[in-house]
């Protein structure tokens, strides 16, 4: 007994230690560390954030240098470890444009002095990582054109000084001058920089809105117009060949009416036959239901409203409408581009000079223009941690968390936020739950309540349990091949080799007869109450099973060869819509992956419902379905919720299948928008599990991205914990409700 307790204690300690490590490493990532000003014995000065220290084995040259430093007594305390090996410190020195590697190891014996300059500043930039330097000036830079024989205009009002540089002379004799007017320097740099940065953020937000919303609307309108014209051309070509895309509207309405009457009439007939135990009436109800479901197949797969005949005149009119719409959208596009250019011109005027002390170079606007100062709008955040109070550090810390949780990633996912990643993970988990729970509950209900227990069901249970042990990458390969390349391509462009209409309607008739025959065989295979099955009834049962298998295969063949269906997105081909990786296929793949968990948990929960409650329900005159829906399922709901919790926890952490069926390195466009159909399940998405892998092992700057791995892991654990706690709370309320006897 004590071994069991010891094993439990060890497991709990391991779990707690893992979560504590993730929590500690994750929450410390964004805390602003002080900037060291390091002066080396060679006279080089650098600014950087200390990362970690380690002892290392020096090269022969470093050994001689260390021995000479020890002999002269110039080594600092702690320069070597007890074994005599030198200790070095890793600094994040940034300034990637000039240094190349943003991290640098500095041995302690090479450090002449170490101080923390209060003016040291770290710029978190949109691109190229961080920049360390000393703020020098805020300036206003722009170009002016001076006509031939004229003097340049006077200095900028309020400027400390103004410098003019001749850039070029135009063919008409005018001169283009670059003017830099310093509007703040020295002690006034930081306040003016903060003020201008607030204005720059407003301009950046407006630019982002114009580029994403306004330009996106125009591009979406152009694409819709192109697809409408393309669909009209396809329908026109099909009309010229004497074909139609779908059923005629009249025939489609007949199929709708027949499906409704057949399904409803069959249901009524079967219910009355159950009361009167009239077997011929039961057969009639089965036949009507089969006819109804058979007519429902073309109703679902054919859409005549998008396949009307298109004449030459209609195609010409559609082309005129297309040209008018394109003209209007291009005019709007030019107007938006003009506004963007105006804001960008204004934005490019405001610059900041933050100079590196070792080389004297300032942060450039881009790597190819080292002499152009950085635009203020390129700075995400400017931090002077050496002068910050605790409240100031906490403010920077919270602002970084806000950016991390609400903004898009940047700089190859090693900086910025993870909002699209969080959104994709949560949406995928919810879609997974919506898909897997109904399938798992229905399967478990059939296996426990309806199926005859025997060798076949034992084999099914063994197969379900074995599916839980299949490697997840196998599910990913299956999802890619079946969902993306088979079902998705069928949805986009219809069947690759459609049947003729005569063959297809003949197949529908054969399917209806097959389903009716399988249902009738199953009906006559049931032994009379109190008696065992005869050999003939056993043969009928086997025939019913084989008949259902044949009907399922036949229905799949009919769907894959339907001649009235040419795809929902044939106008967009050859560019696939659902025939590629996307959110829907990822959710269905993970649903298959977690289906065994839900089936096993649900079946155990159903089996745990006392049999006396079922017998009491039957004794009160309730039918089997009424007993299941009102007695069994409500009391099994806590166990079903347990299965859903386990499925959510496993599905949210899976990475291997998502790499094949939907997850992308960068997909800032969310699967939800304000445009129809609002939920775009064909889009790729970002996922926290895949994001951890990408940041940790695929980042070009692995050292800078390493702390983010812990933080992203912390967010993933927090999201899974939040979803599970929500489900656990619902399960607890359901358990209290039914244990308390409430109905």
Where in the chain are the domains?
A: 36-115, 125-191+351-416, 426-498+574-739
Burial 194-214 (b: 16+ CB within 10 A, else e): eebbeebeebbeebeebeeeb
Name the token pair of 192: 């003016």
d(Cα 584, Cα 437) in Å, to the nearest integer? 16
Look up tokens 């934005």; give the residue: 347
Closest CA to 563 of 484, 502, 514: 502
Look up tokens 């036959």; give the residue: 273
Look up tokens 């992203």; give the residue: 712
d(Cα 575, Cα 99) in Å, to the nearest integer? 43
Could you give the 3-state DSSP secondary structure of residue 167? strand
Q: Are 583 and 662 in contact (CB under 8 A)?
A: yes
Name the token pair of 11: 């497991």
| Enclosing H/E stretch for 169 | strand 161-169
Q: Which residues of the chain fall short of a pLDDT of 70?
A: 1, 74, 76-77, 154-159, 242-250, 266, 269-286, 300-308, 528-531, 533, 738-743
d(Cα 202, Cα 347) in Å, to the nearest integer? 10
d(Cα 609, Cα 631) in Å, to the nearest integer? 9
- Predicted local distance difference test score (pLDDT) of residue 431: 93
d(Cα 193, Cα 215) in Å, to the nearest integer? 31
- Kindly report, residue by residue over 583-598, the tens digit of the pLDDT: 999 999 999 999 999 9
- Kindly report, residue by residue over 428-459, the tens digit of the pLDDT: 999 999 999 999 999 998 888 887 777 878 88
Beta strands in 198-289 (DSSP E): none
- Kindly report, residue by residue over 461-479, the tens digit of the pLDDT: 888 888 888 898 999 999 9
Closest CA to 549 of 522, 531, 526: 522
Residue 5 DSSP code: H
Going from the C-alpha of 466 to that of each of 463, 469, 470, 714, the distances in angstroms are 5, 5, 7, 32
The number of residues in the chain equals 743
- Predicted local distance difference test score (pLDDT) of residue 739: 61
* Burial degree of 146 (CB within 10 A; 0-12, 13-18, 19+): middle
Residue 272 DSSP code: H
| Enclosing H/E stretch for 383 | strand 379-383
Class of domain 426-498+574-739: mainly alpha
Would residue 496 be called left, alpha or beta, if left means φ above 0 and alpha means ψ between -120 and 50 degrees?
alpha
| Model confidence, pTM | 0.87
Closest CA to 306 of 226, 241, 228, 237: 228
Q: Are 476 and 657 in contact (CB under 8 A)?
A: yes
Q: Are 483 and 591 in contact (CB under 8 A)?
A: no
| Enclosing H/E stretch for 179 | strand 175-185
């Amino acid at each position: 007994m004590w071994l069991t307790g010891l094993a439990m204690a060890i497991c709990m300690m391991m779990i707690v230690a893992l979560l504590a490590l993730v929590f500690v490493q994750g929450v410390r990532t964004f805390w602003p560390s002080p900037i060291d000003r390091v002066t080396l014995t060679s006279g080089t000065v650098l600014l950087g954030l200390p990362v970690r220290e380690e002892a290392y084995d020096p090269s022969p040259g470093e050994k001689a240098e260390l021995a000479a430093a020890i002999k002269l007594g110039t080594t600092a305390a702690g320069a070597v470890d007890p074994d005599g090996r030198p200790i070095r410190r890793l600094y994040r020195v940034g300034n990637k444009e000039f240094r190349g590697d943003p991290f640098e190891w500095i041995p302690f014996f090479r450090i002449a002095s170490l101080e923390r300059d209060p003016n040291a500043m770290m710029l978190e930039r949109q691109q190229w990582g961080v920049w360390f330097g000393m703020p020098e000036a805020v300036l206003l830079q722009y170009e002016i054109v001076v006509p031939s024989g004229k003097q340049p205009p006077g200095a900028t009002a309020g400027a400390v000084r103004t410098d003019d540089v001749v850039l070029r002379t135009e063919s008409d004799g005018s001169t283009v001058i670059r003017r830099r007017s310093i509007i703040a320097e020295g002690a006034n740099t930081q306040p003016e920089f903060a003020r201008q940065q607030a204005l720059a953020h407003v301009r950046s937000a407006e630019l982002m809105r114009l580029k994403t919303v306004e330009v996106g609307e125009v591009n979406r309108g152009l694409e819709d117009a192109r697809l409408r014209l393309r669909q009209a051309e396809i329908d026109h070509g099909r009309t010229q060949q004497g074909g139609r895309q779908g059923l005629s509207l009249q025939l489609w309405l007949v199929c709708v009416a027949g499906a409704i009457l057949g399904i409803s009439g069959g249901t009524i007939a079967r219910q009355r036959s159950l009361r009167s135990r009239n077997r011929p009436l039961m057969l009639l109800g089965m036949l009507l239901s089969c006819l109804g479901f058979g007519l429902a197949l073309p109703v679902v797969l054919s859409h005549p409203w998008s396949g009307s005949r298109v004449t030459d005149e209609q195609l010409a009119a559609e082309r005129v409408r297309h040209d008018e719409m394109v003209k209007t959208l291009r005019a709007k596009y030019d107007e938006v581009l003009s506004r963007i250019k105006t804001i960008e011109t204004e934005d490019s005027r405001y610059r900041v000079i933050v100079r590196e002390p070792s080389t004297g170079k300032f942060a450039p606007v881009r790597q190819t223009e080292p002499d152009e100062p950085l635009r203020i709008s390129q700075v995400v955040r400017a931090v002077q941690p050496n002068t910050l109070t605790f409240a100031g550090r906490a403010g920077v810390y919270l602002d970084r968390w806000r950016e991390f949780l609400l903004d898009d990633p940047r700089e190859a996912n090693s900086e910025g936020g993870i909002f699209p990643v969080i959104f994709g993970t949560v949406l995928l988990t919810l879609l997974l739950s919506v898909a897997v729970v109904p399938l798992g509950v229905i399967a478990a209900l059939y296996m426990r309540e309806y199926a005859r227990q025997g060798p076949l069901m034992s084999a099914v249970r063994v197969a379900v349990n074995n599916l839980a042990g299949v490697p997840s990458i196998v599910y990913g390969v299956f999802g890619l091949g079946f969902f993306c390349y088979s079902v998705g391509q069928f949805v986009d462009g219809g069947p690759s080799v459609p049947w003729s209409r005569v063959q297809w309607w003949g197949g529908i008739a054969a399917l209806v007869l097959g389903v009716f025959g399988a249902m009738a065989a199953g009906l006559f295979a049931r032994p009379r109450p109190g008696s065992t099955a005869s050999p003939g009834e056993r043969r009928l049962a086997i025939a019913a099973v084989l008949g259902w298998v044949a009907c399922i295969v036949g229905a799949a063949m009919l769907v894959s060869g339907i001649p009235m269906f040419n795809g929902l997105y044939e106008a967009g081909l050859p560019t696939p819509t659902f025939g590629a990786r996307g959110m829907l296929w990822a959710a269905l793949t993970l649903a298959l992956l977690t289906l065994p968990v839900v089936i096993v948990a649900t079946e155990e929960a159903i089996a745990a419902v006392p049999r006396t409650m079922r017998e009491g329900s039957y004794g009160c005159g309730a039918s089997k379905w009424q007993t299941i829906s009102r007695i069994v399922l409500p009391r099994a709901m806590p166990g079903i919720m347990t299965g859903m919790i386990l499925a959510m926890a496993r599905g949210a952490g899976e990475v291997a299948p998502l790499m094949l069926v939907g997850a992308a390195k960068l997909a800032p466009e969310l699967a939800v928008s304000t445009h129809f159909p609002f939920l775009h399940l064909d889009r790729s998405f970002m996922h926290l599990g895949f994001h951890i892998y990408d940041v940790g092992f695929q980042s070009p700057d692995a050292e800078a991205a390493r702390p983010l791995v812990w933080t992203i892991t912390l967010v993933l654990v927090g999201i899974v914990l939040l979803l599970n706690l929500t489900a656990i709370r619902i399960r607890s309320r359901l358990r209290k409700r039914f244990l308390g006897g409430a109905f």
